[in-house]
C-alpha cells in the first residue's frame, strides 16, 4: 500500500481473556497492511488470569494500557482517548480479523465520496457448529457492531461510547449511520466468536439492552436478536 496517510488504531479490550487473546492479537498483527500504517492498543481491564503474561510477549508490537476493572465500556473509551491515529476499529479479544480487513475498510472510506465509516459482513463461529456468514447488505443493524471502521472525528463528535448503556456500540452505530454515509463491503472480514458466558449470551441482559435503545430512539428495525 503506497498511501502513507492511512493511519489506523486497532483497539482491543481484554478482561480475563487468556483463552483467546493471542488469536485476536495475531489476527491484527497478520494484516496485509504495512505495520507502519496502524497501531494496536490493548486496554486490559484488570485481568486476574494469565492475560497480562500473554500480552507481555507482544509488548514490542503493541501498546498495553493497564487499568483496574472498570468495565468494558470504560475500557473502550479509554482506548479511543489513547489512540493516536485518525481511523478507529474495535476488535474484541475473543474475535478475530481476516487478513485484509484493515486495508479493505480503509480504502472503502478513502475512495467513497463523503464516506465517514465502513463496515463488512462477518462470520459467526459457535462451539461445535459450522461457521455461518452474516450479511449486512440489507440491514446494517444485523451487525454485532464489530468490524466497523470509523473516522475518529465521529467518536469525538458523539462523545465516544455511552457508559450508561448496555449496548453503546449500537447506540453509536445508530447515530453515525443516520447522519453520515457508510461504505459496505460484501465480504466476511470479521469473525465473531459466540460464547455462552458473554454478555450477549444472557437473554435477560440482551432484552434490557434493547429496551434501553428502543426507549431512546424508538424501535430500531432489524436490530440483531442474539
Q: Angle at Cα 55 formed by Cα 190 and Cα 45, nearest 5°?
A: 80
Q: Which residues of 51-70 are buried (b: 16+ CB within 10 A; e: fewer)?
A: bbebbeebeeebebbeeeee
State the Cα–Cα distance between residues 183 and 186, nearest whole angstrom: 10
Helix (H, G, I), strand (E, B) or coil at 83: coil
State the Cα–Cα distance between residues 196 and 202, nearest whole angstrom: 7
Per 3-state DSSP, the chain is made up of helix, strand and coil in percentages (nearest 5) of 35, 25, 40
State the Cα–Cα distance between residues 90 and 161, nearest whole angstrom: 12
Question: Quick one: 8-217 is in which CATH superfamily?
Answer: Spore Coat Polysaccharide Biosynthesis Protein SpsA; Chain A (3.90.550.10)
Q: Angle at Cα 1 formed by Cα 42 and Cα 27, nearest 5°?
A: 30
What per-residue confidence (pLDDT) applies to 128? 66
Q: 27-49 pLDDT, tens per residue?
A: 999 999 999 999 999 999 999 99
Q: Does residue 2 carry a pLDDT above 60?
A: no
Q: Grid coordinates standing for 150?
A: 470509523
**If you average pLDDT over residues 54-83, what whole number do you get?**
96
State the Cα–Cα distance between residues 11 and 57, nearest whole angstrom: 18
**If you average pLDDT over residues 116-132, what whole number do you get?**
88
* DSSP summary character for residue 208: H
44 within 8 A of 16, measured Cβ to Cβ: no
Q: Widest CA span of the chain, in angstroms?
A: 48
Q: Can you give the pTM of this predicted structure?
A: 0.94
**If you average pLDDT over residues 85-108, what whole number do you get?**
96
Q: 183-212 pLDDT, tens per residue?
A: 999 999 999 998 777 788 788 999 999 999
38 within 8 A of 8, measured Cβ to Cβ: yes
Q: Under 8 Å CB-to-CB from 211, ≥6 apart: which residues?
A: none
What per-residue confidence (pLDDT) applies to 112? 86
Amino acid at each position: 500500500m503506497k498511501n502513507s496517510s492511512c493511519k489506523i488504531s486497532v483497539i482491543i479490550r481484554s478482561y480475563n481473556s487468556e483463552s483467546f487473546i493471542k488469536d485476536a492479537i495475531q489476527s491484527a498483527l497478520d494484516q496485509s497492511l504495512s505495520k507502519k500504517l496502524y497501531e494496536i492498543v490493548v486496554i486490559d481491564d484488570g485481568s486476574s488470569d494469565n492475560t497480562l503474561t500473554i500480552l507481555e510477549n507482544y509488548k514490542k508490537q503493541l501498546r498495553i494500557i493497564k487499568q483496574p476493572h472498570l468495565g468494558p465500556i470504560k475500557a473502550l473509551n479509554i482506548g479511543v482517548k489513547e489512540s493516536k491515529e485518525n481511523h478507529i476499529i474495535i476488535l474484541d479479544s475473543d474475535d478475530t480479523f481476516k487478513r485484509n480487513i484493515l486495508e479493505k475498510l480503509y480504502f472503502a472510506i478513502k475512495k467513497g465520496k463523503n464516506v465517514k465509516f465502513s463496515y463488512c459482513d462477518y462470520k459467526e463461529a459457535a462451539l461445535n457448529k459450522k461457521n455461518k456468514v452474516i450479511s449486512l447488505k440489507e440491514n446494517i443493524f444485523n451487525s454485532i457492531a464489530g468490524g466497523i471502521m470509523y473516522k475518529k472525528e465521529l467518536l469525538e463528535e458523539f462523545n465516544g461510547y455511552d457508559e450508561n448503556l448496555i449496548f453503546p456500540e449500537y447506540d453509536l452505530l445508530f447515530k453515525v449511520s443516520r447522519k453520515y454515509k457508510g461504505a459496505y463491503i460484501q465480504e466476511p472480514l470479521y469473525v465473531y466468536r459466540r460464547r455462552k458466558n458473554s454478555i450477549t449470551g444472557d437473554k435477560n441482559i440482551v432484552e434490557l439492552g434493547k429496551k434501553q435503545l428502543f426507549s431512546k430512539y424508538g424501535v430500531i428495525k432489524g436490530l440483531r436478536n442474539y
